[in-house]
Chains A and B, each alone.
Chain A
Amino acid sequence: MYYLGLLGEYLKNYMKTRLTYRADFWVEIVSDLLFQAVNFIFILVIFMHTDSLGGWSQNEVIFVYGFFMVPYGIFGCFINLWGFSERYIVKGEMDRVLTRPAHNLFQIFLENVDPPALAGSLIGIVVMIISGGNLGLSLEWWTLPALVLLSVSAVAIYTGIYTALTSLSFYSDAPTGILPLMYNIQSYGRYPVTIYNRAIQVLLTWVIPFAFVGVYPAALFLEREEMRSMALLTPAVGAVFLTVGLLSWNHGVRKYKGAGS
């Protein structure tokens, strides 16, 4: 309850800040959409040259992409750790966060909320509806609850991975640039991972499990039997990675050295 109240308060402040820079708000939405469009072009181009990607049709791949956008938008809105190292470690804002009576990681999430990212989630839903319609998928009683559960689990996976990686900046003296590199990798989870070789599949499933934010859970709705068990595993993977992320974060905070003397 306390944290929900805080979330409301921070969102209010976000809106107030944003109203002073209104143009930015739209620039950000447009750039986000363009970003998605560009990824979309890649899929379209691929299917100009082939009918199936590892046994998946164009509509299926697009559906996966649509699903991928939903948790990604939620993650981008509420969990924004870009620039953590510069802002909170190098400039020392972590000091302030640590002297406030709310969990430090949660405060950092709140201070960086980014609602325009949610536009991506909406578009993702539209994409799922259109491509799902093309595929003749039907809306079952479990579809919506499953969508919510799997999206939340996928957000947990993102949060776990990025929190764990970001907590490295508590140990390393140098600001780390791993996050942007991850950015490329996470997009690989939205293609049928079976096209990759064994090593990469294992990597994307168990080590940095980006397959669980895209193709596995989406397969449940596409009724692809071969990935059903993986899809059902998504919440468990989410719980595990979130726990790992939070533990390494809390451990990192204890190693925090502060900025300057």
Chain B
Amino acid sequence: MSDSLMAPAGGGSAAGPQKSGRGLLLGAYFDFIRIRFLTMLAYRVNYYSGILIYTLNIGVNYFTWKAIYGGGESLGGFTGAQMTTYVAVSWMARAFYFNNLDREISTDIRDGSIAIQFIRPYNYVLVKMMQGLGEGLFRFLMLMIPGMAIAMLLFPVQLPTELSSWAGFLTMLFFSFLINSQINVLTGLSAFFVENNEGVMRMKRVIVDLFSGLIVPISLFPGWLSKVLEVLPFQAITYLPGSVFTGRVQGTGIWSVLGIQVIWFLILLLPIIALYRAARKRLFVQGG
């Protein structure tokens, strides 16, 4: 990660030599993952309803597509079987990468508790990412895997047979999480500059679901729209990993779609750093 994002972290090294200070800090970040994981476990109602609702989402989308396919062979390069797999894996991937960092951050900003977070010897954005990762790991292990198993029982989902597809998909899934969280962080930090960013957050939510290819695979959009979407970061969240999992992208192609994700990850760092700096300045110069 960028040095400037790490900058406030250096302050916490009173414990001794620089290296052990860093080590302690790293441990602290891992703790944020662990604590969030445990917190998620405590929300029992959410957990059970989550499994049910994700399964229902897959079911509804599966039947909708089945109705759309009718007797047709292939739509936008997807066969019916591929579409089923795509729908299932996309929703399950969403279970992993989805988080409410935007809402958490803007709540912190609006009730003023962000000021306390900013003077702590760690990087606020990084801590949020770690908490998101804790949540993601929980959802991956507890929601996505059992959910996928249920989906396979109910619907004709085909798992990839190639090892490279599995490896590619899992790596890309991690980047999906990163990119989606970056977008969430950006949306959340916008609360610094708009009095009430509820509208922005809602808009983001809908746009990510539609333009990432969760509801409609990108290749099914009208030509001009899919051209536009291919140069936006959203497709990197769902559509690209989904394409790898369904086997539409194979072999060396995996490297290039992974490359797109990495590039978007790096590009999105820039506005985060800029916003973060502006936010700090605003907080400390204008007092919130």
Q: Do A and B come from one complex?
A: yes
Q: Which A residues have a C-beta under 8 Å from some C-beta of B?
A: 21, 23-24, 27-28, 30-32, 34-35, 38-39, 41-42, 45-46, 48-50, 52-54, 86, 168, 172, 174-178, 181-182, 184-185, 188, 191, 195-197, 199-200, 203
C-beta contact mask, B38-64 vs A, less than 8 Å → 1, else 0? 000011111001100100110110011
Query: Are the CB atoms of A196 and B53 closer together than 8 Å?
Result: no
Query: Are the CB atoms of B216 and A42 closer together than 8 Å?
Result: yes
Q: Please name 28 pairs of A and B residues whose Cβ atoms are closer than 8 Å in the assembled complex, sorted by A.
A: A24-B196, A31-B200, A31-B203, A32-B199, A34-B206, A35-B202, A38-B206, A42-B210, A45-B222, A46-B64, A48-B220, A49-B68, A49-B75, A49-B76, A50-B67, A50-B72, A54-B67, A172-B44, A172-B45, A174-B44, A174-B46, A176-B45, A177-B46, A178-B45, A181-B53, A195-B63, A195-B67, A203-B56
Query: Are the CB atoms of A200 and B63 closer together than 8 Å?
Result: yes
Query: Are the CB atoms of A41 and B210 closer together than 8 Å?
Result: yes
CB within 8 Å of A: which of B101-144? Answer: 107
Q: What residues of A have a CB within 8 angstroms of the CB of B26 in the complex?
A: none
**What is the count of residue pairs linking A and B with beta-carbon distances less than 8 angstroms?**
111
**Given A21-B196, A27-B200, A49:B220 Cβ within 8 A:** yes
CA distance A49 to B67 in the complex (A): 11
CB of A37 to closest CB in B, whole Å: 9
CA distance A28 to B216 in the complex (A): 26
CB of A190 to closest CB in B, whole Å: 11
Q: B66 at interface (Cβ–Cβ under 8 A)? A: yes
Q: B215 at interface (Cβ–Cβ under 8 A)? A: yes
- Candidates A34, A42, A182, A196; contact of B63 at CB < 8 Å: A196
Q: What residues of A have a CB within 8 angstroms of the CB of B198 in the complex?
A: 24, 28
Q: What residues of A have a CB within 8 angstroms of the CB of B50 in the complex?
A: 177, 181
CA distance A177 to B47 in the complex (A): 9
Interface of A is mostly: helix
Interface size on B, residues (CB 8 A): 40
Q: What residues of B have a CB within 8 angstroms of the CB of A188 in the complex?
A: 60
CB of A15 to closest CB in B, whole Å: 15
Query: Are the CB atoms of A35 and B49 closer together than 8 Å?
Result: no
Query: Are the CB atoms of B59 and A191 closer together than 8 Å?
Result: no
Q: Which B residues have a C-beta under 8 Å from some C-beta of A?
A: 42-46, 49-50, 53, 56-57, 59-60, 63-64, 66-70, 72, 75-76, 100, 107, 194-196, 198-200, 202-203, 206-207, 210, 215-216, 220-222
Give the residue name and chain of the B residue nearest to A24 (CB): B196
Give the residue name and chain of the B residue nearest to A172 (CB): B45
CB of A169 to closest CB in B, whole Å: 9
CB of A166 to closest CB in B, whole Å: 12
Q: What residues of A have a CB within 8 angstroms of the CB of B202 in the complex?
A: 31-32, 35
Nearest 7 interchain pairs by C-beta: A31-B199, A195-B67, A27-B199, A174-B43, A24-B196, A31-B203, A181-B53
Q: What residues of B have a CB within 8 angstroms of the CB of A174 in the complex?
A: 42-46
Query: Are the CB atoms of A197 and B63 closer together than 8 Å?
Result: yes
**Given A31-B200, A42-B216, A174-B44, A24:B195 Cβ within 8 A:** yes
Q: What residues of A have a CB within 8 angstroms of the CB of B64 in the complex?
A: 46, 53, 191, 195-196
CA distance A45 to B210 in the complex (A): 11
CA distance A174 to B49 in the complex (A): 14
Q: What residues of B have a CB within 8 angstroms of the CB of A39 in the complex?
A: 206
CB of A11 to closest CB in B, whole Å: 18
CA distance A55 to B53 in the complex (A): 27
